[in-house]
Structure 1
Amino acid sequence: MKPEVTYTFADLPGDGSAMRVADGVYWVRMPLPFALNHINLWLLEDGDGWTMVDTGIGGEKVRALWEQVFEGTLAGRPITRILVTHFHPDHMGQAGWLTGRWNAPIWMTQAEWLYARHQHSKDLAGRMEAGQAFYRRAGVPEAQLPALLQRFGRYREGVEPVPASYRRIFGGEEIRIGTRNWQVIIGEGHCPEHACLACPEDKLLISGDIVLPRISPNISLFPQEPDGDPLSRYLDCLGRFGHLPEDTLVLPSHDTPFTGLHARIDNLREHHKHRLDLILEACAGAPQTGLSVMQAMFTRELDSLQLGFAIGEALAHLNLLWRRGTLARTLGPDGVDRYTLA
């Protein structure tokens, strides 16, 4: 039987400070203006300097806290490399400022850098049009569309201008940081090409948003790829962590470090199996829309941001079942997709 998830640290790093979690590895915790109110960031000793993993959301508050960390932790050594796991604002937000602050390159996968550049662009018309069609097909009433679409242009609010050049990293690549070789493991589904960093020899994994200890990462369908299958890609990518020791210390982007990696991966797979079974049960009766399936999956009250994620998650599960041939999808004369058992 696999060991259950065990939380390794009773304390949290304070604002503007860093906590040592392993030799040469320091944990920084920055605030977020959401219900999920924090993100974990990592500083890795790297010879005469430091490598930073993820940057926090943009804005003066986080920038001021970083300056406190620099003063109290870096011991006079500079940030020499900024590695970003993926394009989301809480991970990418300060990258533009930090590259200028330290004259340090940004390292990330190609798909994540391209998505960041795309999302930061001022050209919203096409994205808004695609978003309207996407939510209408899911059965969202016209009155709810403006609240869902308002978030489409907000990426720039939490992200400094994205650097115009970067150093591309690849799945399977080994990156030497300090005395360790870190393997790049690509996670999919939560975003296109998320980079996790693993050091099997020292039993360390920077898991980003791919493996979180208590919540399931959001796996959503988005208007850019309405017939995509992000949930299959996510479930498949979990197998890429199978070679890591069970007692690996997992350093996630949210919550606290933990051990019990493989037990947690089993839990995540079971969570999505339960969701898929729930959807099949719902579709066994009357035809269901994306919105009605979302309402069966999420029974609590949701704000507009959470509603967008919830609809995306419902559609990701529906698309997996549709692409497998378990569900049939029919576009009605009202322009809404409806799902029934195949």
Structure 2
Amino acid sequence: MSLQYPFADLPSSGQRFKVADGVYWLRFPLPFALDHINLWLLEDTGGWTVVDTGLGIRPSQSIWKGVLAEQLDGKPLTRVIVTHYHPDHLGLAGWLEQETGAQVWISRGEWVLANDICDSPERDTIERIRTFLGRHGLGGDDLDKVAGKGNGFRRVVQPLPANPCFLAAGDALTINGQRWAVHVGCGHSPEHLCLYREEDHLLISGDQVLPTISSNLNVRASDPDMDPVTDFVNSLEALRDNLPDDTLVLPAHGLPFRGLRERVDALVHHHEEQLDRVQAACLQHPQSAFDMLPVLFNRKLDVQQLMFAMGESIAHLNCLMLQGRVARREVDGVWRFSA
């Protein structure tokens, strides 16, 4: 089936909007080009569960204070589920834990990575970024600006939750007497949680499946040879093959939609095309990841987008290298890839 969008209206910031029995949509602004995040309020016996939290900044705290006071029918927030470690999802988990006493749930892999990043000293973070991206061809003012952002992650996720509970693939939660199965995706992050209510075919997909864009697939300096493209595609195909096509997908960005299989097929095809483009460019002459930016992105990139774009470029080159479609060698301190 083609993508269908059952809800034409957007909820106002901090105002809940019902999308299914006991499931409500919250939309919080973000100060980026991707200007919003969707949170999902789930009514439970004696309280509420929320999936994801928003960015750890004061404007989001202010919106949350209004939600807690006005949108929960006088019942407490008892549980916070974090789909993955990125700051717009994890950012206010610790603050909500402190404000409400809610129990935070996350996957172990996301929790470990969040702590590793927060524990990295500023100077070490900057040097690691400079070395890693410099070796992939980023230089000059661009490298100075990207590395100069330092450990921005730490500034928008603290305090981290004190004592979270962990969820893994195959687990299930009972919320308001209904079973939500846990599916775990990889590629965009290590162990991205998705929740599926089989009773009415409802999937809270986080960033794993988005309706109009593909989630960023980033290679981290701490794991320079990782292959998030293959991990992401495999995770998408598992969702496609195990969930019905009429599933109502509730994504972290964009509009809720139906047409899961068509969307997964489009995302898989997109990354196949990107791999083919990169390989074709590497047939002409050896290329660095920086050289691949205009091949993969046909727009001007700001500093934050440049950092993500470099990670995505390295991800596609790593995937091609592991498939045996390109080879890598170091030339004057920069990795060059040839088909």
Per the TM alignment, residue 16 of structure 1 is displaced from its structure 2 partner at its CA by 2.1
CA contact (8 A) 1:120 1:162 kept: no
CA contact (8 A) 2:127 2:147 kept: no
Equivalent residue, structure 2, for 1:43: 41
Equivalent residue, structure 1, for 2:314: 315
Amino acid at match of 1:170: A
Q: Deviations over 1:234-259 (max 9, x none)?
A: 11111221221111110000011000
Equivalent residue, structure 1, for 2:286: 287
Distance in 1 between residues matched to 2:307 and 2:119, nearest whole Å? 21
Alignment of 1:1-342 (within 5 A): 3-121=1-119, 123-241=121-239, 242-332=241-331, 334-341=332-339
CA contact (8 A) 1:188 1:233 kept: yes
Distance in 2 between residues matched to 1:66 and 1:208, nearest whole Å? 19
Per the TM alignment, residue 165 of structure 1 is displaced from its structure 2 partner at its CA by 1.4
Per the TM alignment, residue 75 of structure 1 is displaced from its structure 2 partner at its CA by 1.0
Per the TM alignment, residue 151 of structure 1 is displaced from its structure 2 partner at its CA by 2.9
Distance in 2 between residues matched to 1:72 and 1:247, nearest whole Å? 33
Distance in 2 between residues matched to 1:143 and 1:71, nearest whole Å? 46
Distance in 2 between residues matched to 1:86 and 1:6, nearest whole Å? 26
TM-score, normalised to structure 2, is: 0.97
SS of the counterpart of 1:67? helix
Distance in 2 between residues matched to 1:310 and 1:248, nearest whole Å? 31
SS of the counterpart of 2:284? coil
RMSD between aligned residues: 1.2
CA contact (8 A) 1:185 1:240 kept: no
Distance in 2 between residues matched to 1:291 and 1:176, nearest whole Å? 47
Q: Deviations over 1:174-225 (max 9, x none)?
A: 1111121111111111111110101122110000001000011101112111
Amino acid at match of 2:220: F
CA contact (8 A) 1:120 1:161 kept: no
Cα 1:336–1:95 change in 2 (3 A) is: same
Distance in 2 between residues matched to 1:278 and 1:204, nearest whole Å? 35
Q: Deviations over 1:99-151 (max 9, x none)?
A: 01111111000111122222223613333222112111111123321111123
Structure 2: unaligned runs, 5 residues or longer: none
CA contact (8 A) 1:211 1:265 kept: yes
Distance in 1 between residues matched to 2:338 and 2:256, nearest whole Å? 41
Distance in 1 between residues matched to 2:95 and 2:150, nearest whole Å? 23
CA contact (8 A) 1:28 1:43 kept: yes
Q: Deviations over 1:67-103 (max 9, x none)?
A: 2222332111111111100111100111111001111
Distance in 2 between residues matched to 1:110 and 1:93, nearest whole Å? 17
Identity of aligned residues (%): 44
- Structure 1 range deviating more: 112-121 or 163-172: 112-121
CA contact (8 A) 2:285 2:338 kept: yes
Distance in 2 between residues matched to 1:63 and 1:128, nearest whole Å? 29
Please identify runs of 4+ aligned residues in structure 1 that moved more than 3 A.
none
Structure 1: unaligned runs, 5 residues or longer: none
TM-score, normalised to structure 1, is: 0.96
Distance in 1 between residues matched to 2:16 and 2:129, nearest whole Å? 40
CA contact (8 A) 1:16 1:67 kept: no
